[in-house]
Amino acid sequence: MIFVDGKPFNSSSSFSTSSSGSRPSDLLAALLEHPILVAATRSFKSIEERKVSKLPNSSSNPKYVYLFQREYATVDPSLVHFVGTDEATTCVGVAIRNRKNGMTSVAHMDSPKIVDTGFSQMLKLVVDHDSDADLDVHLVGGFQDVPPDHARDRSMSKGKRVSGYSSPLCRKIVETMQKRVEKFHVKTLCVLRHNTKYDSQENAYPIFNGFLVETSSGSVFPASFDRTSRCPDEIVRRLRVSASYEDPYWQGKLLDTYDTETDRFIIAPCIWTNRLVQIVKSLRNLSDSDILTTCSTSPLAEGPDFVENEKRLWDYLISNQDWLVTFPMAEPREFERTDEGGWERVVPIKIH
């Protein structure tokens, strides 16, 4: 169930004004209008964005865990200082933190289809069988990717309301929290219109694409990461996002990435098919502008390295068409943290 300002939230008691007068708001709309959350979002947007880069080698470096699209990780504050994600346009970053023990789970959700199971995955280690735990929740990402006037229009061909990608995902997230038994205290709701800015041509863009959680305090900051800090195993983890849509094992799930107890990245294997290889070969011949319009849910809002990242991923896939080359014996790829704060591949010991 959702709580705001320490009180259970009931959208039926909230109202919004439309051209037809006052009417009961749906859950998401009511949350977006709640004065406590509006003030919290305003405060969040006043924080300077942190730019995370690989730090000089030092044993005193803060320990980070970074998540790509569709990944999640639950971290122990005694082992990890910061956990975060970025590159979200129509996706939404979700952070859940147990007030009592500081256990923190972050996910980069990209579809309503993975929300229900995704929350169960995130909460498995956060609540520790204590469904009465008080959980602080922060939602950052998603923007007004369909103009409000357009969203209200009816499609002539399908008779359906046009809602873009961000709105259905945000709606599913809050509805899932409301129906679960856990106590979700929503602290940050920087999504949709609260996370939208416009250029001179009235094109919409997200204000923030990512965030960082300080696990010891629970503080949340807007954040962006460069390539050196999106690690370990960047290309393989990006590839799993595309491959997971064809791999039945990952349907409706977030991607397993990190082992909480050992502070290791244990990247579970994902199967890709020859069909995906052929698709990638055809995409590789497209122009940069066509790659954007074909591969992104929000072409105008992507970062400057989007196309380059796609090409690097495709080059890897074309060179490694058999998924077992990347995941020999269908075993996960494992990385341990070095004394300097980086990551080192753990090579499995072969037993003859």
Residue 351: inside a domain, yes or no? no
In a domain, 303, yes or no: yes
Helix, strand or coil, per DSSP, at residue 306: helix
Q: Residue 260: which CATH number?
A: 3.30.1330.200
Whether 352 is covered by a domain: the verdict is: no
Q: What is the dihedral of CA 120, 125, 130, 135, to 10 degrees?
A: -80
The verdict on residue 306 lying in a domain is: yes
Distance CA 30, CA 37 (A): 10
Low-confidence stretches of the chain (pLDDT beneath 50): 15-24, 58, 151-161
Q: Each residue of 213-272: pLDDT tens digit?
A: 999 999 999 999 999 999 999 999 999 999 999 999 999 999 999 999 999 999 999 999
Nearest residue to 83 (alpha-carbon basis) of 60, 63, 59: 63
d(CA 238, CA 326): 13
pLDDT of 134 reads 96
Residue 87 forms part of a structural domain: yes
**What's the CA gap between 260 and 73, in Å, rounded?**
8
303 vs 87: CA distance, rounded Å: 7
Alpha-carbon distance of 114 to 118, in angstroms, equals 5
Asked if residue 232 is part of any domain, the answer here is yes
Secondary structure letter of residue 38 according to DSSP: H
Predicted TM-score (pTM) of this structure? 0.91
Distance CA 323, CA 328 (A): 8
Find where tokens 């077992």 sit: 324
- Long-range contacts, 299-304 (Cβ 8 Å, 24+): 300/203, 300/204, 300/205, 301/89, 301/143, 301/145, 301/204, 301/205, 301/206, 302/89, 303/87, 303/209
Alpha helices by DSSP H, 58-197: 115-126, 148-152, 166-179
Task: Specify whether the CB–CB gap between 206 and 88 falls below 8 A.
Answer: yes
Note whether residue 42 is domain-resident. yes
Structural domain boundaries, residue 158: 2-346
Domain count, the chain: 1
